[in-house]
Copies of this chain bind each other. A is one copy, B any other.
Amino acid sequence: MNPLEMSKWLLPGLLAGLGGCGLIVELASERNLWQKNSRDFYEEAKRRVPPLGGIPLLILLIVIMFWARTFYMLPAILIGLVGTVDDFMKLGIKGINRPLKAREKIVLQLLIGVLGAYLWGRTSSIWEIGWVVIVFMAVVNATNMTDGIDSLLAMTSIVSVLFSMLLLPAYGAVFFMLVGFLIGFLWFNAHPADIFMGDTGAFTIGGILATIFLRSRQELYLLLIGIVFVVETLSVIIQVTYFRKTGKRVFLMSPLHHHFQKLGWSEPQIVFRFTFFQTLGGMTATVIAYVLAR
């Protein structure tokens, strides 16, 4: 992709991130758009932050899908919309004030995963469909679990996407759009954040990565390209499983970023240190892919 082509995708991303999130920050402070009935915050201070930063990304992705006819991207958009429903419910406007139940989310994710398997041509057997659904659900929940520290999911996603470009250059357009958006989003999400990307943002990012890697049949590389997402997920599984069996905890708190927060790492320290490992993972993935292709 030449620089002119690159800027055609990077610039709209940058502007959507800066302009869209800036608008939401303005509206939020006028209209009290923050999470009034969420109990899952580590710090009280984070409650008065609007969780709607993913919406400009989702809108951009919808526009691109219709404009560039990239309908294989539909599952990423649908999962993003599931996040949006959840985010708006958390705001407690119009009397609707319960978030989606875990079961409802899982059923929706499963259905969207099945749709993905068809759109991406991965329906050779029931096993393949099942595998695609599992990977899709794992990825979108992994990015969602990573989102819990200011700038953490944005920075680790930028690194993932930059290495993904080396692996799957055909998807450069969406990748540059996403990097641009995240750099714009970080203007307002830098610690202390004025906006969160919410489930909308986290699910959409996971959805984009899952879509591109599953459609390219390269999904195993996500284990390395998104190593931070994988480890965050494992930390939750280990914590919950171990606690149910023994009544004791492995980590001070899960997902893993909260463990380090309790150990005294600042939010920027967690961000840059997790980003370091994401870089190692991305580098390893591209080296393996290159060596295997030789």
Given A268-B150, A269-B190, verify A286-B14 contact (CB < 8 Å): no
0/1 per residue, A162-180, Cβ < 8 Å to B? 1000100000000000001
0/1 per residue, A1-45, Cβ < 8 Å to B? 011101100110010001000000000000000000000000000
Kindly list chain B residues whose C-beta atoms are within 8 Å of the C-beta of A2. Answer: 290
- Stretch in A48-56, A79-87, A222-230, A274-282 with 4+ CB within 8 Å of B: A274-282
Q: How far is the CA of A4 from the CA of B2 in the complex (A)?
A: 23
- Stretch in A94-102, A129-137, A181-189, A251-259 with 4+ CB within 8 Å of B: A181-189
Q: How far is the CA of A207 from the CA of B189 in the complex (A)?
A: 32
Given A151-B268, A268-B191, verify A18-B166 contact (CB < 8 Å): no
Kindly list chain B residues whose C-beta atoms are within 8 Å of the C-beta of A183. Answer: 272, 275-276, 279
Given A186-B275, A276-B18, verify A283-B7 contact (CB < 8 Å): yes
CB <8 Å contact, B3 and A287: yes
Q: How far is the CA of A4 from the CA of B291 in the complex (A)?
A: 8
Kindly list chain B residues whose C-beta atoms are within 8 Å of the C-beta of A271. Answer: 190
Residue of B nearest to A189 (CB): B272
Kindly list chain B residues whose C-beta atoms are within 8 Å of the C-beta of A150. Answer: 268
Kindly list chain B residues whose C-beta atoms are within 8 Å of the C-beta of A262. Answer: none
Kindly list chain B residues whose C-beta atoms are within 8 Å of the C-beta of A6. Answer: 283, 286
Q: How far is the CA of A174 from the CA of B238 in the complex (A)?
A: 41
Kindly list chain B residues whose C-beta atoms are within 8 Å of the C-beta of A10. Answer: 279, 283
Kindly list chain B residues whose C-beta atoms are within 8 Å of the C-beta of A220. Answer: none
Q: How far is the CA of A14 from the CA of B279 in the complex (A)?
A: 9
Of B14, B166, B273, B280, the contact of A190 (CB 8 Å cutoff)? B273
Q: Does A266 contact B (CB under 8 A)?
A: yes
Kindly list chain B residues whose C-beta atoms are within 8 Å of the C-beta of A291. Answer: 4
Known contacts A4-B290, A191-B266; 6 additional CB pairs below 8 A are A3-B166, A3-B286, A18-B276, A150-B268, A151-B272, A190-B266
Q: Which A positions have Cβ atoms within 8 angstroms of B?
A: 2-4, 6-7, 10-11, 14, 18, 150-151, 162, 166, 180, 183-184, 186-187, 189-192, 266-269, 271-273, 275-276, 279-280, 283, 286-287, 289-291
